[in-house]
Amino acid sequence: MGITFRKETFRDDFTFRNSPEHIRRFPFPFHEDSYMYAVNIEPHVVGPKGSVLENLIDVDEHYVAEMQDRALVLAEDPLRCQSLPHMTLAGWDLLELLMEQQALGYPEHFTLTRDGDRWRWINRPLGIDDTFTFGDTSTLPYGPMEYITRQSQGDFCILDQRDGNLWMDAGMVTTQADWSLDFDIGMNFFEWHAPVPLAHEKGIFTRALKFLTNIQQGKPARRLNWTMTINPRLDTSPENYHKWGPDRATVTPDNVGDKVHLRVELQSFWRLPRSNAIVFPIRCYLIKMDELVTQPKWARRLHRVIRDLPEELATYKGLTRYRPTLVEWLSKLDDGSATSPGFGPD
């Protein structure tokens, strides 16, 4: 059973939609009726069938459209993809990881065959059939990291591990929630997380760094993060703030359901074998309010989370301007009854 890939856009006319199946599949990030910033790391293991964790690297109905949007972003701004000179080996590691996982999870769409260093990669949804020599960049149309991340959903940061810290020395970042690879490139873990409020006071980042630097090969970990986006725009970069920032002023009681999107990031952390680097896939999932509230439990819970969110976090996540409108709209869908335990819909 193959995936039916949707034709849709993440800009201008915004034709992005989730199918009913994908609404229920959405990785709703709240397991209770309140939220506080926390590390919330868990092992990245296969989850339930029909969920985004059915495969460790998720490919979904938005794959082709997202890759097309990525190509548009890169054409406008090539610096969304950077790899410092010492990161080439890590790029090859990532190419291997993503090809293996996509071929493993979706053999009807991807095929990887290897004969020593001679590899053949077939990507049917994108019409790619390439043969190359592993480790020889001249046999690919781009460097290894760029080549494979033009064919993989989500953003990717490759973190070099040295001096007991992690350094963002390579990445493909076109679907980020308001941060810039070009700004963060070469920074260490504490430097690129400096903007997150409250967390430093709780020692959360020191603990998180300890955990990440001890990630073992073959034992990836993950966490969920979330924010909100007006219109289903993947590229909410600081570079393009002038395009998407004003959207926050366009929310009205009449268009909340269509414009306001919950944006969830499934972040995973993998130890790469040859380079000993960590790769940080950041997979973005979008769902508009009209779609989310087709699941009554989620409607009630989201109402309570957003209503009670600490002001500092609301400001950091950029919700302040439209939060009252959203809370009012959601409150009509909250009858006060209890929500069942767990993340999933009822």
Binding segment for another protein among 1-9, 17-25, 47-55, 158-166 (CB under 8 A)?
158-166
Query: Is 161 one of the binding residues for another protein (CB under 8 A)?
Result: yes
Please report, as a single letter, which amino acid is at residue 55: N
Comparison of 68 and 137: residue with beta carbon closer to another protein: 137
Catalytic residue among 24, 223, 307, 321: 223
Please report, as a single letter, which amino acid is at residue 322: Y
The single residue listed with the structure tokens 């993440």 is 10
Query: Is 41 one of the binding residues for another protein (CB under 8 A)?
Result: yes
Binding mask 242-281 for another protein (x = CB under 8 A): -------------------------------xxxx-----
Binding segment for another protein among 23-31, 37-45, 245-253, 326-334 (CB under 8 A)?
37-45
223 is annotated as an active-site residue = yes
**Least distance between another protein and beta carbon 210 (Å):** 4
Comparison of 127 and 218: residue with beta carbon closer to another protein: 218
- Beta bridge pairs of residue 133: 118
Question: 16, 37, 98, 47: which is closest to 224 by C-alpha?
Answer: 37
User: Using CB under 8 A, which residues numbered 186 to 215 contact another protein?
Assistant: 203, 206-208, 210-211, 214
Biggest alpha carbon distance in the chain?
Answer: 61
Alpha helices (runs of H) in the chain, residue ranges in sequence order: 20-25, 63-76, 88-105, 144-149, 181-184, 189-192, 204-213, 241-244, 256-259, 289-292, 296-308, 311-316, 323-331
- How many residues make contact with another protein (CB under 8 A)? 31
Question: 300, 306, 299: which is closest to 324 by C-alpha?
Answer: 306
Residue 40 in tokens: 């919330």
**Least distance between another protein and beta carbon 26 (Å):** 23
Q: Yes or no: say if 189 and 205 are a contact pair by the CB < 8 Å rule.
A: yes
Query: Is the backbone of residue 12 left (phi > 0), alpha (psi -120 to 50) or beta?
Result: left
User: Using CB under 8 A, which residues numbered 62 to 121 contact another protein?
Assistant: 85-87, 89, 93, 96
Query: Is 221 one of the binding residues for another protein (CB under 8 A)?
Result: yes
Active site residues: 223
Binding site for another protein (CB under 8 A): 39-43, 85-87, 89, 93, 96, 160-163, 203, 206-208, 210-211, 214, 216-219, 221, 273-276
